[in-house]
Amino acid sequence: MGRKLLLEKANVPGIRGYDVYRQQGGYAAVEKALRMTPEEVVEEVKKSGLRGRGGAGFPTGMKWSFLAKPAGVPRYLVCNADESEPGTFKDRYLMEFIPHLLIEGLVAASWALGSNRTYIYIRGEYAWIVDILEQAIAEANAHGWLGKNIKGSGFDCQIYVQRGAGAYICGEETALIESLEGKRGNPRIKPPFPAVKGLWDCPTVVNNVETLAAVVPILNIGGEEYAKIGTGKSTGTKLISACGNINRPGVYEIDMAISVEEFIYSEEYCGGIAGGKRLKACIPGGSSVPILPAKLLLRTAKGEPRMMTYESLSDGGFQSGSMMGSGGFIVLDEDQCVVRHTLTLARFYRHESCGQCSPCREGTGWMEKILHRIEHGQGRTADIDLLWDIQRRIEGNTICPLGDAAAWPVAAAIRHFRDEFEWHVNNPEECRRRNYGLAHYADELVSALP
C-alpha cells in the first residue's frame, strides 16, 4: 500500500465538515506556518521539491520565490480549479471529499506569499463543489482560520470562490486572470509573468488545487521528509485520475516510485484492462500530452521499466516518451481507433481555441477537418503528411501552450500509429460503414474543406 498524504483521511465519515477535519489534525499546518516567517514557509516548500501539479511541473518553492514584492502593492494567490483537461478529474475529488485540506493549504500559502485576498477560480460545471467550498470557507471563518487577525497573528486573509463559464482556455493562468478580472478569457503575452504583473496588474501566484493542498503535508511532516517520498525530482505523492478501458477507473494517490505496469495492472490501482483485452496505448497525463503505444508505455526506448515519475514519463522526449502533465491517465484497449480518438481531441482543441493566434485558430480547424475526412473514409495519403506539417507549424508559434496541446496529440498519433492512418486511407468503404451514423456530420465538414 503506497503512502497517502492527501487522501489518507478522505474516507473518514464527516471529514467534509470542519469538526471532524479538525479532530483529525486539520489546520495544524496553518498553526505551524503562522509560527514561522513567510520566508521560512517558502523555504520549506523549496526543500520539499514539490512540483506544480497543474501540468507543467514547475517547482513550486521557486515559483513562490519569484513573486515580486513592491512596497504598498497587494499580492495575490489564485488557486486554479478550472480542471477542464479531458481525462483529468483529481482536483474535483479532492475538493469534493476533503475541501478543508485545500482551504488549509490556501491559508498557509497565503501567509507565505502575503496574499490577503485569495481566489479559487473554479470551472463553471463544478457548481455543486462551489457550495462545498463556500461551506468550508464559512466554517474556516467561523473558527478564526480566515478573516482578520487570524489566530492573533496580525495576518488578514479572505478566500473568494469565482466560477468560470466553462472554457478550457481559462485554465491557462493568464487567461484565468483575465477572466477573474471580468474580461474574456484570452491568454496574455508573457513576459510580464504573473509573478510580476498578474491579477489587476499586481504580483500574483497561480497554483493548482493539488499543489496547494500538498502544502499541508509538507508543513506537517517537513519539507525534507516530504522529499524522501517518491524518487529523484518527483517527490511526494501525486494524484492520478485514471479512466478509459480499465477495470477500476478512479482517482489514486500514488507514491511516484511505482512503475506504469504496476499502476495499470495492480488491483490497488487500475486493476488491469477491462474485459481481459490487450493494452493498446495510453495518454498518461491528460489529453494534451503525447499518446504512447503499449510497448513504449511499459518500457522506455532504453528498455527500462517506465515509472510514474515526471522524469521517466518524459524519458525519450517526444520521440519515444510523453509527460506527467495533469495526471489524467487515459487507457485505450485493442479495440480503440487512434484516428477516431485523435479526431475527438482535435475537435475539442478547435472548439476551445480562443482565436488570438492564427496558427492555433486556423490550424486546429484544419487538423479537425483533415482528421475527420480520414476517419470517415475520404482521406488521401497526402493528408497524413499535411496533418504532420500543420501540427509542426502550430507548435511553439502561439501565445499560449494550447497550440502545443493541440499539436502534440496529432504528432504522437502519426508518429506511433501511422499504419492506422494509412489503413483508413486505403480502406475508405470500411471507414464509411463504421461511421454510418455520423454520415450527416461528415458531409457537412467535408464540403467545407479547401
Q: Which residues bind ligand FMN (CB under 6 A)?
A: 52-56, 58, 63, 80, 82-85, 168-169, 171-173, 206-208, 211, 400-402, 405
357 is an interface residue for ligand SF4 by CB under 6 A: yes
CA–CA gap between residue 309 and residue 234 (Å, rounded): 6
Tell me the Ramachandran region of residue 87: left when phi exceeds 0, alpha when psi lies from -120 to 50, beta otherwise: left
Q: 90 with 210: CB under 8 angstroms? A: yes
Q: Which is nearer to ligand SF4, 94 or 170 (CB)?
A: 170
Please give the size of the binding site for ligand SF4, defined by CB under 6 A: 14
Q: Which is nearer to ligand SF4, 171 or 236 (CB)?
A: 171
User: Which one of ligand FMN, ligand SF4, none is in contact with 325 (Cβ closer than 5 to 8 A by kind)?
Assistant: none
Query: What's the DSSP call for residue 321?
Result: -
Does 84 bind ligand SF4 (CB under 6 A)? Our answer is no
Q: Which of 219, 400, 410, 425 binds ligand SF4 (CB under 6 A)?
A: 400
Q: CA 245, 248, 249: angle at the middle one, nearest 5?
A: 70
Could you say which residues in the range 154-173 bind ligand SF4, by CB under 6 A?
A: 169
Considering only residues 126 through 145, tell me which ones interact with ligand SF4, judged by CB under 6 A.
none
CA torsion sign, 257 to 262 to 264 to 268? negative
Report what 403 binds from ligand FMN, ligand SF4, none; CB cut-off 5-8 Å by kind. ligand SF4
356 makes contact, choosing from ligand FMN, ligand SF4, none, with CB < 5 to 8 Å by partner type, with ligand SF4
Backbone angles phi, psi at 234, to 5 degrees: -115, 75
Neighbour count for residue 162 (Cβ, 10 Å): 16
Q: Does 354 sit near ligand SF4 (CB under 6 A)?
A: yes
Q: Within 10 A of 180 (CB to CB), how many other CB atoms are there? A: 22
Cβ 239 vs Cβ 255: under 8 Å: no
CB of 58 to ligand FMN, least distance (A): 5
| Residue 235 binds ligand SF4 (CB under 6 A) | no
Task: Please answer whether residues 431 and 375 qualify as being in contact, where contact means their C-beta atoms are separated by less than 8 angstroms.
Answer: yes
| Separation CA 244–CA 236 (nearest Å) | 26
Which window, 82-90, 176-184, 210-218, 399-407, contacts ligand SF4 (CB under 6 A)?
Answer: 399-407
Instruction: State the residues that interact with ligand SF4 by CB under 6 A.
Output: 169, 187, 353-357, 360-361, 398-400, 402-403
